[in-house]
Structure 1
Amino acid sequence: MPSLNVSFTDEELEGVRAAAAADGKSLKQYLHDLGVREMQRRQFITGASHWADRLRGEFDDAFPDDVPPAERPGGATAA
């Protein structure tokens, strides 16, 4: 399995060790989980953005008062 060496200052390492201990995890498991969680967060944000973009027109039609003025037909003067 691939691995990675990560450098920390003494202060950073102390903080990361404390965070790992607070989560009840080893330092190795804590750092692994942070990386995986960040990857999953980015995938979620990308998916949510695509979903919102797909439904934006339908939402704007249903709630025209919630459309930002600059995006309304007629631009900012539509407000």
Structure 2
Amino acid sequence: MPSLNVSFSDEEMEGVRAAAAAEGKSLKQYLHDLGVREMHRKRFVAGATAWADKLRGEFDEAFPEEIPPAQRGDGAAAA
């Protein structure tokens, strides 16, 4: 089974150990789960974005008065 050596500063390691303990996991299990969770999050976001893009035209027809956040006067703060 592949493995990976990862270096942390003393301060980083202290934080990672505390986070693992807070979840009741070993350091190894915590770091494994963190990587897997991030992979799943990225897949979810990509799928949600594709779904939204697919339905954007239908939404725009149903709600023509809605202005996308990027086109609002207050820019990114509106999102």
- Deviation of the 1:21 alpha carbon: 0.2
Q: 1:43 Cα shift?
A: 0.3
Count of aligned positions:
70
SS of residue in 2 equivalent to 1:64? coil
Match of 2:2 in 1: 2
Distance, in Å, in 2 between the alignment partners of 1:65 and 1:34 is: 41
CA RMSD of aligned residues (A): 1.4
What's the secondary structure of 2:65's corresponding residue?
A: helix
| Aligned residue in 1 for 2:39 | 39
In the other structure, the counterpart of 1:16 is: 16
- Extract unaligned runs of 5+ from structure 1: 71-79
> What TM-score, normalized to structure 1?
0.84
Q: How many angstroms apart in 1 are the aligned matches of 2:14 and 2:54?
A: 45
Distance 1:12 1:50 in 2: 35
| TM-score (normalizing by structure 2) | 0.84
Larger radius of gyration: 1
Distance 2:33 2:63 in 1: 40
Paired with 2:19 and 2:50, the residues of 1 have a C-alpha distance of 34
Structure 1 residues 25-74: Cα deviation after superposition (integer angstroms, max 9, x where no partner)? 00000000000000000000000000000000000000000134x5xxxx
